[in-house]
Amino acid sequence: MKKLTLLDYQALAEFRHQIRRFLHFSDRAVEGAGLERGQYQMMLSIKGMPDGSRPRIRDVANRMQVQHHSAVELINRLETGGYVRRERGLDDRREVLLALTPKGEKVLAELALHHHQQLQEAAPRLVQALHRVMAGKSAGRKGAPVANGHGE
């Protein structure tokens, strides 16, 4: 197993710092729209389901990495706010599918556009930080020590 160097720790710290900067921006933007972080993520999960996937509660819960009951609570709050609606499946009436309302579509589109623009600005820093982690070296520094002691 490779031993981490100080540069490895610095690279990991920088990467997490860049992620946190983006998440801080995201939290402010979402709160400015009157939503909670989880509500925005739920709406984005519903809208952004992969091809061939259906926006069912268990599927969006899985994509968000939350428990089923937590997803239900988020959906309940979004439904109360008029952002999401539940629909019965056409083939199986027991199936409950999730859909954004026109209000949900509008708010999500605005937030997603702001997030996309912010990522365009943050991407070079994020990519550079990720490269540092993957390379196991600090950007702009050569010969970072590695576990084998040969500087390779």
**For 53-87, how does the pLDDT look when each residue is reduced to its tens digit (9 = 90+)?**
889 999 999 999 999 999 999 999 999 999 999 99
Domain residues of the chain, as ranges?
A: 6-135
Distance CA 69, CA 80 (A): 16
Instruction: Please write the tens of the pLDDT for every residue from 14-40.
Output: 999 999 999 999 999 999 999 999 999
Going through the chain in order, the beta strands assigned E by DSSP cover 84-88, 96-100
Q: How confident is the model at residue 124 (pLDDT cuts 50, 70, 90)?
A: very high
Q: How confident is the model at residue 148 (pLDDT cuts 50, 70, 90)?
A: very low
Specify the pLDDT at position 142: 46
Pick the CATH number of 6-135 from 1.10.10.10, 3.40.50.920, 3.40.50.720, 3.90.1300.10: 1.10.10.10
Distance CA 87, CA 95 (A): 8
- Residues ≥6 apart with Cβ < 8 Å to 33: 40, 107, 110, 111
Three-class SS state of 117: helix
Whole-model pTM: value is 0.80
Distance CA 150, CA 130 (A): 24
As a 3-state breakdown, the chain gives helix, strand, coil percent values, each rounded to 5, of: 60, 5, 30
